[in-house]
Amino acid sequence: MKPFIYLSLILLSFASCKNDSTNKKLAEKTPEPVIFDGIDMAIAPGDNFYNHVNKNWYDTAVIADDQVGVGAYRFLNIPQQELLKNILEEVSGADNTLGSTEQMVGDFYASGMDTLKINKRGIAPIQPILDRIDAINNVPELLSFVTTQMKSGDYSILGAYISPDQENSSLNILHLSQTGLGLPDRDYYFNEDSETNREIQKAYLTYLTTLFDLTGEENGNVKADEVFKIEKQLARSHKTRIERRSIKDNYNKWTIEELNKRNKNIDWPTVFEQLGTDITEVDVRQPAYYDELDVMLGSHPLEEWKLYLKANSIRSHDNLLSKPFQDASFAYAKVLSGQSEQQSRSKQMVRRVDRQLGFALGQLYVKRYFNEDAKKRALALVNNFQKTLESRIDNLEWMSDSTKVKAKEKLFAISKKIGYPDVWKTYDVSIDKEAFFENVVALRKSEFDYELAQLNKAPNREEWHTTPSTVTAYYNPSLNEIVFPAGILQAPYFDLYADDAVNYGGIGMVIGHEFTHAFDDQGAQYDKEGNVTDWWTAEDYEKFKGKTNQIIEQYGAFTVLDSLHLKGALTVGENTADNGGIAIAFDAFKQTQQGQDTTKIGGYTPDQRFFLSIARIWRVKMRDEYMRNYVTTDPHSPPMWRVNGPLMNFTPFYEAFEVKEGEANYRTPEQRISIW
């Protein structure tokens, strides 16, 4: 929910640093040429460069039954999870000191692996929650239940989180955002003409029906329909994902008194008091949702709301319960994703430990698998790219000198986090090897308490919002920072022993991408301190918006799965970052010795290898069902267009592969879009 801008990527091969002998071997290793295999010479680079590089691989790649995709990008988490599993199996079987990192992560993993005990407990862990719902007699009691559950990570009709005030980034405040839906997006409740959408709705209703049946409710299908109607009415009040990209339109700071006058059926002072907050103001990001919720609380019978809360609470805990609940959850999920087989319990638990005790697990991960030399080299690259972007800003023809000064001030104020935190997050919770459900709830509550403690304070600028083992990278505009966890600093994105062309086309694009996020359609509205301010001249900003509109139009014309169009307005930030990232990376590469040379490796020039590396890092195959949901909900373009889209606009690519007029992806020099 926090406004971070993620690349959401990657995983690569590991170099372990367990001991001095290992480090010595690494130091003695000499660079080896990366071989770009699978090139399809029947496809011209200018027709479809992504397929030119990846089609042979794509045609033979097999997606495992328990996965929704295979290859690079986020699917490189699959081998990453095997490494985390190795750690967890080792520590869960050891005699660890109580309260130690090893004991916490090992016992949590072990508690979730005890499926015999979990299945034996059946519905028992969640029954007290359902009983409390049955005991609700009025709207104030309903809201009291909702706020109490929020403290344990069970969110329903109120979406609250804590992050910096976008007009005063030195202070954390409370934000309220739209919520309340069970389907992935508001649009899934509508669009009745789509057969795919109707199938998803049907699967969701079947899922809700099964949940009611499993908890002993009669007429589960009728009750599922009632829940769906409430959610659909809430969905009508939701802003679309594109509308939510407007920074200023999604910021409304009101006093609690003002909000309370606006919503007659929600006693906001009591809600905030029960949450444990001490506030006089709140940012209501999507007021229309809370206006509609307020009306619905006064118009829908209490019994309907109690059904809604039951469905929501069971759904929030279904994968913590016995196998029938887990099977019901998967039956619905596979319609959305196309995944045909449920993942093993160990894979599920690896993800859960990483999600809920990720910084504890991350400490063990870094000790075993992270190469510190990668951190040093990555920092050097990041600093180099910062200077490269400065030069590109200086050379912009469309930006005035006064705005350039502000842009460069912001650029050099960006903080850089690489590898893992300097200060590790700790967890104030006791883990019981015999109590999986209770462990999860305790960790959720601990996380809520941790977040609550940040309210009305300055943001912790040392804090990380992704774990070291996570395969991702992000830019956070409120703190003006870029973050590259250990998980991304590995081949094929980053390889200490590859030639520069490979690394600059791999991790280089990633670094350039994250720097560009500071100046995409959203990031450009934040100043160097992380405040939303007008630091541009009016004329420059209009020129900038004109260029981002060109990106929107270009990508909106791309299609996936025959007639499914990309959402140019949803993906504009990521597409801007992809275009800028490649340009920055190429300029930086041209400053290297190899970048100024023409010596071929494997039959390809340095420039060609740079572009081949870009295409290779997005080598991905997804299930069609997953792709449809991806295009509907994800702000990133699908992998093919993260390659072809930017390269259509990049003249050095045309020169490297002699792309000619008449080829499918050819654009005239005047049509090629360049922003940063």
pLDDT of 220 higher than 70? yes
Residue 37's pLDDT is: 87
Average pLDDT, the chain: 93
Residue 134: which residues within 8 A CB-CB, separation 6 or more?
A: 306
Q: For the residues of 205-231, what is the DSSP string, one character each?
A: HHHHHHHHHHTT-SSHHHHHHHHHHHH
Residue 38's pLDDT is: 85
In whole angstroms, what is the distance from residue 556 CA to residue 579 CA?
15
22 band by pLDDT with thresholds 50, 70 and 90: very low
424 band by pLDDT with thresholds 50, 70 and 90: very high
Percent of the chain with pLDDT over 90: 88
pLDDT of 15 higher than 80? no
Average the pLDDT over 423-446 and give the result: 96
Average the pLDDT over 590-612 and give the result: 97
Tell me the two tokens of residue 355.
């999600």
Average the pLDDT over 339-343 and give the result: 96
513 backbone dihedrals φ, ψ, rounded to 5° = -60, -50
Positive or negative torsion for Cα 478, 481, 486, 489: positive
Residue 46: which residues within 8 A CB-CB, separation 6 or more?
A: 654, 657, 659, 660, 663, 664, 665, 666
Residue 644: which residues within 8 A CB-CB, separation 6 or more?
A: 48, 49, 50, 665
CA dihedral 16, 18, 22, 26 (to 10 degrees): 40
pLDDT of 624 higher than 70? yes
Residue 466 contacts residue 484 (beta carbons within 8 Å): no
Residue 12's pLDDT is: 30
pLDDT of 127 higher than 50? yes
* Alpha-helical segments (H) within 414-480: 436-452
Cis peptide before 639 (omega within 30 of 0): no
Tell me the two tokens of residue 358.
């990720």
Helix, strand, coil share (%) of the chain residues, nearest 5: 55, 10, 35
In whole angstroms, what is the distance from residue 600 CA to residue 602 CA?
6
31 band by pLDDT with thresholds 50, 70 and 90: low
Per residue in 489-508, pLDDT (tens digit) is 887 889 888 999 999 999 99
Percent of the chain with pLDDT over 70: 95
4 band by pLDDT with thresholds 50, 70 and 90: low
**CATH T-level fold of 127-321:** Neutral endopeptidase; domain 2 (1.10.1380)
| Domain boundaries, given as residue ranges, for the chain | 127-321
76 band by pLDDT with thresholds 50, 70 and 90: confident
Choose among 612, 674, 619, 628: nearest CA to 49: 612
Per residue in 428-439, pLDDT (tens digit) is 999 999 999 999
Choice among 116-120, 411-415, 494-498, 609-613 with the minimum mean pLDDT:
494-498
0.85 surpassed by pTM: yes
Per residue in 364-389, pLDDT (tens digit) is 999 999 988 888 988 999 999 999 99
